Structure 1
Amino acid sequence: MQWDLGLQGLAVLGAMSLGFGVVAGLLVGKGWVHRLWATAIGTVACFGVGLLTSEWLFGWATEEELQPNVDGLSRDEVLLSSLFTTAAVVLVMRYLAHRRTSHASPTAVG
């Protein structure tokens, strides 16, 4: 079955991605610049992974097999993949921030 993601499906995917991106920004912490980067990276990552999940991983399934389906978007599957993507973005960004701060501050050897 050929699935075409419609405009409504793209809009829902974009809104979900932005929401998960904002959650990533809030969970990362560490100042406004760091939060904005996390929001941007989380939004783009969730959009890309959600698009791949809906169209590539579950594009073979019929509309009856995947409910709810919003204009070609497999919503539940995209929500689950966005949850994992957001967790990965938060963990990687926190690790990189921790690594950068631990290398930036020299320890006093006495």
Structure 2
Amino acid sequence: MNDAPLPSQHGSPLRLVVPGWYGTAQVKRLRDITVLDAPFTGFQQSVAYLEATDRLDSGEELPPGDREDLLDRVRDFERAAQQRVEELRTRLSRAEEFAATLAQRLTSSPRL
């Protein structure tokens, strides 16, 4: 930090800077980092999605470029949400197959 070693209270041994995000009180210590191939659709991202759609639907005059940025955010979120829906459908299908197999085995096996 300022050409000096990074002290512990400022994130040593590693400090992660993510453009567009701030971490004043949210993250003090990381346990792990997960790399994703699609935007994350957590609570805060959902709130940001709703704020973006509210601004787009409000009819307010937006500064140049803001409308396109908001639309990009909404599209990214919708793509990520659709991908998550497909993943959950696959998991549900597998769970239903497992439950059916288990039920069949339980009803066809002799009782002890």
Larger of the two Rg values belongs to structure: 2
Q: TM-score, normalised by structure 1?
A: 0.36
Provide the TM-score with structure 2 as the length reference: 0.36
Which has the bigger relative contact order, CA under 8 A and spacing at least 6? 1
